[in-house]
Amino acid sequence: MNNGYFITGTDTDVGKTWATVTLMHYFRQQGRTVAAMKPVASGCVWQDGQWQNADALLLQHHASSPLPYPLINPYAYEEPVSPHLAGVANPAQMETIISRFQTLQSHADRVLVEGAGGWYAPINAEHDISDLAFVLGLPVILVVAIRLGCINHAKLSHQAITLSGLPCAGWLAVCNDATMRQREANIATLAAALPSPLLGVLPYQATADFVGLAGLITPGLR
């Protein structure tokens, strides 16, 4: 039985990390221990003797217990481009990611895995994010950035997840565009169109209040 979720998004920069950290706090408020990983990350800086990614550091910071960085982000690439391009010299290996994930499972009640980019973003020359989610066998949570074009992107992404054979546990609306017009109407349209449940609406915040955002997740997610 799995004890986690795979977090994917409709695109890059849609709020996957904020959504993941929010879910971490949601599970912590339920009394569960939690960890998260970002197996592949591009756009890293050299510090503490290794390449590190800001999103992965945020996941590390909000875990229930201290965890070594390489466990959370096995493949950290300097160049801010697609991982299959950034990682030519050191391509992501599924076996390594699976091993790190299984180690995290022994440290926490819930393990969240944040993808890179969208569902079909390539992580190496042979595999996409969708392949990674499939081998981990986790239910998927889709993060939808509520911005112009989100309805089409969300429908296509949800359809792709369904075709993969993995269950979609639900979707999160992330309001990361402060000037978005008809925001509530767009969310209502998506709620009617997507067969998976809306797990919560995360409002626009200049600085995230993850504890407060966690209170907006629909009760019942286990």
43 in a structural domain: yes
Name the domain count of the chain.
1
Q: How far is CA 131 from CA 33, 134, 147, 164, 190, in A?
A: 27, 5, 27, 9, 26
Structure tokens at 42: 């591009």
Q: Is 195 among the domain residues?
A: yes
Does any domain span residue 16?
yes
Residue 38 included in any domain: yes
| 170 located within any domain | yes
Binding site feature residues for ATP:
55, 114-117, 174-175, 205
Q: What is the DSSP letter of 57?
A: H
Going by the annotation, the residues of the binding site for substrate are 42
Question: How many whole angstroms separate alpha carbon 70 and alpha carbon 115?
Answer: 16
| Domain presence at residue 219 | no
**Which helix H or strand E contains 163, and what residues bound it?**
helix 150-164
**Integer Cα distance of 212 and 128 in angstroms:** 33
CA 74 to chain centroid, in Å, comes to 15
The answer to whether residue 208 is domain-embedded is yes
Q: Which of 16, 25, 38, 147 is catalytic?
A: 38
Domain enclosing residue 195, as ranges: 4-214
Binding residues: 17, 42, 55, 114-117, 174-175, 205
Asked whether residue 162 is domain-assigned, the answer is yes
Question: Which of the 8 DSSP states describes residue 11?
Answer: S
- Looking up residue 103, the CATH number of its domain turns out to be 3.40.50.300
For the question of residue 38 being annotated catalytic, the response is: yes
Tens place of pLDDT for every residue, the chain, 222 residues? 469 999 999 999 999 999 999 999 999 999 999 999 999 999 999 999 999 999 999 999 999 999 999 999 999 999 999 999 999 999 999 999 999 999 999 999 999 999 999 999 999 999 999 999 999 999 999 999 999 999 999 999 999 999 999 999 999 999 999 999 999 999 999 999 999 999 999 999 999 999 999 999 998 888
Tell whether pTM > 0.95: yes
